[in-house]
Chains A and B, each alone.
Chain A
Amino acid sequence: MSFFQNFNTHSLRTTRGFKLKPGSAISSPQPANTTVFPPLPKDQLLPQESPFNEQNNAFLTINNTTNIVQNVTSHRDIRSYAEQTLGSDNALINAVKLPRDEDVNEWLAVHVVDFYNQINMLYGTITEFCSPQTCPRMIATEEYEYLWQESASSAGGNIALKKPISLPACEYVENLMNWIQNFFDNDNIFPTKIGAPFPQQFPSLIKTIFKRLLRIYAHIYCHHFHEISELGLQSHLNTSLKHYVLFSNEFDLISRKDYGPLEDLIQTMLKT
């Protein structure tokens, strides 16, 4: 795993050395200097040529319908609560709408952080089931593999892109989440002071983040849905994705070609 050593998008992570030994003066940590945009690593979507595509899917439909959705009796009240709340009058559709005269960037920012947290929670519950052994590649069905591309700064300060690599799903997810977290921690991109503006590139960054976060949903849906549903989290997952696609649809954040394997599912969710 030597590539971790040169993983440069982490270089701007805030470090707060705060060690207080007896006798030293009490001090609060200084804000880290985060004036530069971390370079955007570019990862690529590789639609693989699979000879089985069509038949494969058809086969699956027949084969799998019975054992996917059942069980789940725990936390009934939470489930029913979420269901009732979300099922009612398309509350979510209204909830994602930009309130009158609100700054759209502020609205995007608060939501991208929320979705990040939701995905972090959902993926967190299946970390035991998503290891380099079970998922050696970041795939969503056999058709799609998502590759990670890291960037390394060369001597001249130019950003060189490395060759996209195939990573175990868990490492891909971790890289992606860290990559996003770095933006969140950067005061110039996600301003914290009241009144501080968002950078000009903000909307396009949000689009990139949304496109990539969807891949984690895709991996969970395609390869861990059994586990999720056994853990009693399928309605949470469905709710989360529906909220996610309604939001990105409202603000045109993900283009249809990036739906990947989730295309049909997303279309169904958008129609309801």
Chain B
Amino acid sequence: MMDIDTSYSTPRKAHDKENHTPANSPTKLVLHTSPLQKPRPYAQNVKLHNNISQLQPANALLPLDFQSKANTAKTKRLTSVAQLYFLDYYCDMFDYVILRHERARIVENKLQTDPQYAGNLQRQQLEWRNYVGRERAFLRKRRLKPKHRDFEMITQVGQGGYGQVFLARKKDTREVCALKILNKKLLVKLDETRHVLTERDILTNTRLPWLVKLLYAFQDPEKVYLAMEFVPGGDFRTLLNNTGYLVPPHARFYVAEMFAANFLIDQKGHIKLTDFGLAAGTVSNDRIESMRVKLASLQDIENYQAPSKMMYERQQLFRQSQGHHNLANSIVGSPDYMALEVLEGKNYNFTIDYWSLGCMLFEALCGYPPFSGLKQDETYYNLKNWKTALRRPQTRDGRYVFSDRTWQLIVRLIALPLSRLRNFKQVQSQPYFADIQDWDNLRLRPPPFTPQLDNEEDAGYFDDFEDEESMAKYKDVFARQEQNETLLETARGGGRRSNLNFIGFTFKHKLNPNNKFPKWGNKSLGRRALKETAFWWQLIEPVGYSLLDF
């Protein structure tokens, strides 16, 4: 009798959208097949109710600012995280109790009936002790939160202003993952906490084949850690970088997937596109603000010159301009892919992602994003004058690089908000995608590129962080990290003690090998934890660990 509120009728609908308790959860099974609970005895409710009433101070009313406080992003997030947590916790806890009971019964039964043990008291005791020991070890594992020292680092695969990404292996389960480590104080200082929490919430509440799976999330006093499924193929950016550009069918392949991914996420409802991915929401407000200032501060130039439409010239320029283009976060938070209205501080909606996708399609096909210039200023000018700057690339002999239908799609994506494509249906019906019959089964198609991997620890598709030459392109990132750290050191004098405990952060995925009771002979332990997955779709950069700077 825990609840005092019976003022509404209990809905019967099973809750199954957001939690990850395995489908075979005995708790759920019992719940979903059992008839509705009898209403609680009235007297009991009243009693509990009175007990609580007596505790309330005189004239207690909700504080006047209750609604405004209750509606803060922080409270809303914590409330739903808490609700989810309790649901998950009790499912899990009862599962444990039921299954443990079951296991004990099986062992007891075996000791009675199996001729190996029946009648042999010593053997029975030994076997029972064995079983109890395994239960105890299992129980201990349930208690433990993941810690940094549970992971051995294999190699670094990413670097950003807030921290690093490592290819790592969880020692006990042997799971290989990408471990993203971020500095808490920096996140707090630069007001980025929300982004990390959003990322964590999205990854724990959503299961889409397009999203990198979150395996563990945890923290210690200084850092937060997100251990994610390792996507060995590298990201889209790295792919483009290695190949220069893609042949049209391959580009179509990936672009179709990106649209489909966006659509699915959109469909789910609880994720707004602008929360992550390519859209502005994942980019720090500071970052956008500085881009806005930059854009606004551009002097009007008398005779703006649109960039060349000659593909090879632009490719060359783009390669030369790599200095201001750091690869680690070039897609997210770079003016190259950002719709103009975002940087103008105007209202915008999810279609800004379509703009970004248009820019990526453009780049995928010819090797440079549409507004790229030699200097960053040029990029801003091009963006500001995007209508003239967006030019259909041509080869030396005057032929167009893009087919008509490709160009037709691009100009419906890189377009004024009102004439931009607005939904997935519109996207699907574009002639560019005419060859794609089955949008539902995109992931079944053979990928144009399959990473060649030596083993599950192969990070060959990522930049080598031991290699100085390949690190040159991260110059900006390292510079920013240093800048951030200086910022922290100067701030340290302030002495204000801030609470750096992120509530509602820790997460262990339900399929983690520690969550399964070891079978006889420990067979299920040490087994490769990561499912064999097709790698091709993972090339697309969703919310992955390459987006270090949000």
Q: Which of A9-57 contact B (CB under 8 A)?
A: 13-18, 20, 22-23, 26-31, 56-57
Whether a CB of chain A sits under 8 angstroms from the CB of B445 is no
Q: How far is the CB of A79 from chain B (nearest CB, A)?
A: 8
Question: Would you call B86 and A240 a contact (CB within 8 A)?
Answer: yes
| Residue contact A29 to B497, C-beta cutoff 8 Å | no
> Interface size of A by Cβ–Cβ distance < 8 Å?
105
Q: Render B455-487 as a binary contact track against A, CB cut-off 8 A, 1 for contact.
A: 000000000011010010010001000000000
Mark B6-50 against chain A: 1 for CB-CB distance below 8 A, else 0. 011011111100000000000100110010110010001001111
Interface residues on B, range: 35 or more
Q: Are B52 and A265 in contact (CB under 8 A)?
A: yes
Q: Is there a chain B Cβ closer than 8 Å to A149's Cβ?
A: no
Whether a CB of chain B sits under 8 angstroms from the CB of A80 is yes
- Chain A residues near B512 (CB-CB < 8 A): none
**Chain A contacts of B136 at CB under 8 A?**
102-103, 106
- A64 interface contact, C-beta 8 A: yes
Does the CB pair A78–B497 fall under 8 Å? no
Bound together, the chains give a CA A88 to CA B466 distance in angstroms of 59
Which residues of chain A in 56-103 are interfacial with respect to chain B, using CB atoms and an 8 Å cutoff?
56-57, 59-61, 63-65, 67-70, 72-73, 75-88, 91, 94-95, 99-103
Which residues from B are CB-within-8-Å of A199?
none
Q: Check B220–A83 contact: CB distance below 8 A.
A: no
**B156 — which chain A residues lie within 8 A by C-beta?**
20, 22, 26
What CA separation (Å) do A191 and B164 show in the bound complex? 30
Asked if A142 is an interface residue, CB under 8 A from chain B, the answer is yes
Asked if residues A110 and B83 are in contact (CB atoms below 8 Å), the reply is no
Q: Is the CB of A86 within 8 A of B86?
A: no
B104 interface neighbour in A31, A99, A194, A262, Cβ under 8 Å: A99
Q: Which of chain B's residues have a CB closer than 8 A to the CB of A99?
A: 100-101, 104, 135
Query: Contacts A1-B497, A77-B11, A239-B90 known; A230 to B62 CB distance under 8 Å?
Result: yes
What is the bound-complex CA distance between A110 and B143, given in angstroms? Answer: 5
Q: Mark B92-111, 1 if CB is under 8 A from A, else 0.
A: 01100100110010000000
Residue of chain A at shortest CB distance from B51 = A265
Chain A residues lying within 8 Å of B2, measured Cβ to Cβ, are 83, 86-87, 235, 238-239, 242, 269
Q: Which of chain A's residues has its CB closest to B74's CB? A: A128
Q: B82 and A236: CB pair below 8 A? A: yes
Smallest beta-carbon distance A6→chain B, Å: 12
Counting CB contacts under 8 A, is A124 at the interface?
Answer: yes
Taking A239-B90, A261-B55 as contacts, is the C-beta distance between A102 and B1 under 8 angstroms?
no
**B37 vs chain A, min Cβ distance (A):** 5
- A186, chain B: closest CB distance, angstroms: 13
Q: How far is the CB of A149 from chain B (nearest CB, A)?
A: 19
C-alpha spacing A242/B181, complex, angstroms: 38
User: Are A87 and B37 touching (Cβ within 8 A)?
Assistant: yes
B220 interface neighbour in A16, A65, A101, Cβ under 8 Å: A16
In the complex, identify which listed stretch (B145-153, B278-286, B402-410) lies at the interface while the others stay far away. Answer: B145-153
Let me know if A232 is at the binding interface, CB within 8 A.
yes
Q: Please determine whether B139 and A129 come into contact, CB atoms closer than 8 angstroms.
A: no
CB atoms of B53 and A76 under 8 A apart: no
Is B69 interfacial (CB 8 A cutoff)? Answer: yes
Distance to closest chain A CB from B490 (angstroms): 18
Interface residues of B in 44-99 (CB under 8 A from A): 44, 47-63, 66, 69-70, 72, 74-75, 78-87, 89-91, 93-94, 97
Contacts of A4 in B (CB 8 A): 497
> Which residues of B have CB within 8 Å of A68?
49, 52-53, 56
* A204 within 8 Å of B (CB atoms): no
Of the A-B pairs whose beta carbons lie under 8 Å apart in the complex, a sample of 29, sorted by A's number, is A16-B148, A16-B220, A18-B181, A60-B54, A60-B56, A60-B57, A65-B53, A72-B5, A75-B80, A78-B15, A84-B10, A85-B27, A102-B132, A107-B139, A121-B85, A124-B78, A124-B82, A128-B70, A128-B74, A129-B66, A129-B69, A141-B55, A192-B144, A227-B70, A231-B75, A236-B82, A261-B55, A264-B54, A265-B55
Residues of A within 8 A of B (CB): 1, 4, 13-18, 20, 22-23, 26-31, 56-57, 59-61, 63-65, 67-70, 72-73, 75-88, 91, 94-95, 99-103, 106-107, 109-110, 113-114, 117-118, 120-122, 124-125, 127-129, 134, 140-142, 174, 177, 190-192, 194-195, 221-223, 225-227, 229-236, 238-240, 242, 261-262, 264-265, 268-269, 272
Contacts A29-B148, A125-B78 aside, 15 further interface pairs with beta carbons under 8 A come to: A17-B222, A63-B58, A67-B61, A68-B52, A78-B86, A99-B135, A110-B139, A127-B503, A134-B63, A141-B57, A234-B3, A235-B5, A239-B2, A239-B3, A264-B54
